[in-house]
Amino acid sequence: MIEYEAVIGLEVHVELSTESKIFCACPTAFGGAPNTHVCAICSGMPGTLPALNREVLRYAIRAGLATNCEITRDGKFDRKNYFYPDLPKAYQISQLYLPVCRNGRIEIGEGKNKKTIGIHEMHIEEDAGKLVHDPEGNCTLVDYNRCGIPLIEIVSKPDFRSADEVTDYLERLKTTLQYIGVSDCKMQEGSMRADINLSVRPVGREELGTRTEMKNMASLKAISRAIEAETKRQISRISAGKPIKQQTRRWDDDKGVSFSMRSKEDAHDYKYFPEPDLLPLRVSDGMIEEIRREIPELREARRARYIKELGLPEYDADILTSSFPLVRIFERTAGICGNAKEASNWIMTDLLKLLKDEQVAPEDMHFPEDSLGKIIRMTSEGVINRSVGRRVLTELFGSDTDPITYVKDNGLAMVSDQSVIETAVDRAIRENEKAVADYLCGNPKSLQFLIGQAMRHLRGKGDPQSVQKILFEHLEKRR
Amino acid sequence: MIRMTDIHEAPPEPASIGAEQIEYLEQLARIRLSGEEKERTARDLSKILDYIEMLGELDTEGVDPLSHPVTTEPVFREDKAVNDDRRDAMLRNAPEHKDGCFKVPKTVE
Ligand SMILES: [Zn+2]
């Protein structure tokens, strides 16, 4: 029985989060009615000229520095020619010969499973438009809003041997790119997508097998399943003595199988040549140093600081720094409520539970950054009690409503009026003679039950300390 | 995506363009030429190649490759978005459109 291993390389496309497109001033905002973020330049009208967005080069260099790449000093753009409706100019401006960054690396794994994944190169290019099949007219509809959005393509070396290594790398790459602010890496909006090159070979053999490619994968789960299925498919073919064809395959995640895509003949002859409409790039030492200074504290350093300076438990620091949107909301929340531990507790217990229940990734969370801080502050100032706070968080999650206004408008402020609490306590005692008797016989659980009943009469808004105090006094009077 | 290695593996193109080469280019460029146009294009392209070939006679030993004749510093555009939405005017250039999109023959995925 021959043992096989998979050899996997990744090409990851990441949309840069600039405000405008790479060669024109059209907005890069996601969504928008079809073809409303399009001008004469990005729709490829004759006679127009591209003008490079300064931030695109800076972001690409920042991404390269954060992944230990060498930065190319004298770069240029090349023209990749192909005729397809998603590309109105019939060429894509890309970088073939002198990519902006080369020879980087990312560490994956923990402890003795630590491993370095090499980055072969990182190049800048423009995104293409979106094609939508129209079953009604049996035709294809083209939307150029995405056309000209700046991308970096990060090409790894074929250093992966398993789906787990690939997802670990993608998670870390995503975290790093989010930390340095070059991309939001929202896989569900397509701002991060991966092409997977995979071949198998007997363990111990140096020579690579024939590889297949799966393009435009946009979910970690799908990537992981696709790698496992493709590895199995190739091994079973080889074991049965059948050849592997070099081809592009499309992964159908619902069915859990991949299909060979009809290959466009000659699809790989792009007739590259230097882009004549753009001047060569020149990157100075000064520019690199300036960009290096802009790189914020990355995950490992931040994690250590949270533990050492803020006194957070290791586990909490680990989770909070795992994604930059969480870092942002944590730091903002701690800033507003003035208590890092309290902010961390609320995020670790309540916010993460909400994200999990709603199946939302932190970067896809639609929740104003100062909302949680305001809720915590209201609880610590005694405006609302903690359970109302939790309720406000749940109800406002995914909404733009200000929590302070929400508490006011819905009358959720804590009831601390003694006479109102006394009425509720009286009623709880009157209606639950048995629990009262149990308490007087020494069953402490009955006290919790009676507090719950009194709280219920206060519609959950009672000041818990006052409720407990008044109830206790009333019960003791009955002894 | 294409790699440097793929480029090196591509067969060198013949100096003179034949019928086969023209058909290949037709496919790549998604155009259809008539018999007479094919012949004329082959002749023109061969002449152009011969002309460019003259550069091969020069001794370029020790000369750095030049990717652009202009040597001034690149000019950047600042990252400011301006939404110049003129969709309807733009769609008027298209033979067909539907729901704000360009309508094209069905593409095979
Ligand atoms: Zn544009």
**DSSP codes, A428-446:** HHHH-HHHHHHHHTT-THH
Burial class (CB in 10 A: 0-12, 13-18, 19+), A428: buried
Q: Largest Cα–Cα distance in chain B?
A: 58
Q: Report yes or no: A393 and A376 within 8 Å, Cβ to Cβ.
A: no
CA atoms in the 13 A half-sphere facing the CB of B37: 7
- Which stretches does DSSP call E strand in A31-112? 70-71, 74-75, 78-81, 91-94, 101-108
| Domain count along chain B | 1
- The span from the CA of A274 to the CA of A297, in Å, is 37
For A84, the 3-state DSSP assignment is coil
Q: Report yes or no: A182 and A17 within 8 Å, Cβ to Cβ.
A: yes
Amino acid at A396: L
A430-458 pLDDT per residue, tens: 898 888 888 888 888 888 888 888 888 88
To the nearest whole angstrom, how far is the Cα of B59 from the nearest Cα of chain A? 22
What mean pLDDT is reported for chain A?
91
Q: Which of A25, A56, A139 sits opposite B105 (nearest CB)?
A: A139
For A24, the 3-state DSSP assignment is coil
Reply yes or no on whether the pLDDT at A262 is more than 70. Answer: no
Q: Report yes or no: B77 and A25 within 8 Å, Cβ to Cβ.
A: yes
pLDDT at A91: 95
Q: Which H or E run contains A13?
A: strand A4-15
Work out the percent of chain A whose per-residue pLDDT is above 90. Answer: 68
- The span from the CA of A233 to the CA of A249, in Å, is 12
Task: Please compute the mean of the pLDDT values over residues A288-309 and round it to a whole number.
Answer: 93
Does any CB of chain B come closer than 8 Å to the CB of residue A157? Answer: no
CA atoms in the 13 A half-sphere facing the CB of A455: 19
| Structural domain range at position B38 | 4-56
- The span from the CA of A389 to the CA of A397, in Å, is 12
Residue A448 token pair: 């919790």
pLDDT at B108: 64
Instruction: State the complex-level ipTM.
Output: 0.81
Residues of chain B contacting residue A281, judged by C-beta atoms under 8 Å apart = 74
Work out the percent of chain A whose per-residue pLDDT is above 70. Answer: 99
Does any CB of chain B come closer than 8 Å to the CB of residue A42? Answer: no
Work out the percent of chain B whose per-residue pLDDT is above 70. Answer: 84
Nearest-CA neighbor of A63 among A155, A159, A186?
A155
Residues of chain B contacting residue A262, judged by C-beta atoms under 8 Å apart = 108
A276 with B73: Cβ contact below 8 A: no
pLDDT at B15: 58
B28 with A271: Cβ contact below 8 A: yes
Distance A193 CA to ligand 1 centre (A): 23
Q: Report yes or no: A97 and A118 within 8 Å, Cβ to Cβ.
A: no
A41-97 pLDDT per residue, tens: 999 999 999 999 999 999 999 999 999 999 999 999 999 998 889 999 999 999 999
- The span from the CA of B18 to the CA of A304, in Å, is 67
Distance A14 CA to ligand 1 centre (A): 19
To the nearest whole angstrom, how far is the Cα of A53 from the nearest Cα of chain B? 5
For A272, the 3-state DSSP assignment is coil
Residues of chain A contacting residue B104, judged by C-beta atoms under 8 Å apart = 85, 139-142
A110-159 pLDDT per residue, tens: 888 899 999 999 999 999 999 999 888 889 999 999 999 999 999 999 99
Task: Please compute the mean of the pLDDT values over residues A177-195 and round it to a whole number.
Answer: 92
Task: Please compute the mean of the pLDDT values over residues A332-352 and round it to a whole number.
Answer: 94
Reply yes or no on whether the pLDDT at B8 is more than 50. Answer: no
A20 with B82: Cβ contact below 8 A: yes
Pick A418-476's CATH classification: 1.10.150.120, 2.60.120.860, 3.40.50.300, 1.10.10.410: 1.10.10.410
Q: Which of B29, B75, B98 sits opposite A141 (nearest CB)?
A: B98
To the nearest whole angstrom, how far is the Cα of A103 from the nearest Cα of chain B? 15
- Which stretches does DSSP call E strand in A96-235? 101-108, 115-126, 130-134, 139-143, 150-156, 192-202, 212-217
pLDDT at A27: 96
A141 with B101: Cβ contact below 8 A: yes
Could you tell me the sign of the dihedral formed by the alpha carbons of A263, A264, A265, A269, in that order?
negative
Q: Where in chain A is the domain with CATH 1.10.10.410?
A: 418-476
Q: B interface mutation test: which of A76, A138, A140 has the most B CBs within 10 A? A: A140
- The span from the CA of B11 to the CA of B15, in Å, is 12
Q: Report yes or no: A428 and A386 within 8 Å, Cβ to Cβ.
A: no
Task: Please compute the mean of the pLDDT values over residues A329-350 and round it to a whole number.
Answer: 94
B109 with A261: Cβ contact below 8 A: yes
Q: Are strands A130-134 and A139-143 parallel, antiparallel or unpaired?
A: antiparallel
CATH of the domain at B32: 1.10.20
Read off the pTM: 0.79
Give A267's pLDDT tier (boundaries 50, 70, 90): low
To the nearest whole angstrom, how far is the Cα of A229 from the nearest Cα of chain B? 21
Residues of chain B contacting residue A83, judged by C-beta atoms under 8 Å apart = 28-30
- Burial pattern A282-320, b for ≥16 Cβ within 10 A else e, equals ebeeeebeebeeeeeeebeebbeebbeebebeeebbebb
Nearest C-alpha in A relative to B74: A279
DSSP tag of A368: -
To the nearest whole angstrom, how far is the Cα of B83 from the nearest Cα of chain A? 5
Q: Do the domain assignments include residue B100? A: no
Q: Report yes or no: A385 and A461 within 8 Å, Cβ to Cβ.
A: yes
For A132, the 3-state DSSP assignment is strand
Q: Do the domain assignments include residue B82? A: no
Q: Report yes or no: A355 and A365 within 8 Å, Cβ to Cβ.
A: yes
